[in-house]
């Protein structure tokens, strides 16, 4: 089989009527789909609504709890921050 660019080989003609029929058929499908418009409807369950409310609440709450951070900073500055060395050692050993 030889490919001759985008033109048919000499002596062959393109059947334009077949192309026109397929174009007309495509236009008919488009016209029909425009005539029959459907309406989509979505219903969210009670559980879904609760999840959405919880997600909204978490988005609105601050990611950092400022009051705890402030209390820890003050305790560190004043030297009153309790450090349990055995808990720290155990956590280090757990990581190994």
- Domain membership of residue 34 (yes or no) is no
Residue for token digits 């009153």?
80
- Domain membership of residue 17 (yes or no) is no
- Domain membership of residue 95 (yes or no) is no
- Domain membership of residue 63 (yes or no) is yes
Residue-level pLDDT at 75: 92
Model confidence pTM above 0.85: no
- Domain membership of residue 83 (yes or no) is no
* Structural domain total, the chain: 1
Instruction: Give tens-digit pLDDT for 43-91.
Output: 999 999 999 999 998 888 877 788 888 999 999 999 888 888 999 999 9
- Domain membership of residue 60 (yes or no) is yes
- Domain membership of residue 57 (yes or no) is yes
Range of the domain at 69: 46-77
Residue-level pLDDT at 82: 85
Q: Is the pLDDT reported for residue 36 higher than 70?
A: no
Using CA of residue 53, residue 58, residue 61, residue 65, what is the dihedral sign?
positive
- Domain membership of residue 11 (yes or no) is no
């Amino acid at each position: 089989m030889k490919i001759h660019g985008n033109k048919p080989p000499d002596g062959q003609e393109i059947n334009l009527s077949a192309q026109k029929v397929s174009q007309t058929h495509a236009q008919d499908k488009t016209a029909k789909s425009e005539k029959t418009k459907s309406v989509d409807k979505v219903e969210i369950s009670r559980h879904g609504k609760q999840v959405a409310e919880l997600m909204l609440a978490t988005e609105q709450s601050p990611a950092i709890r400022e009051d705890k951070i402030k209390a820890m900073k003050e305790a560190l500055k004043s030297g009153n921050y309790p450090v349990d060395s055995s808990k720290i050692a155990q956590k280090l050993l757990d990581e190994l």
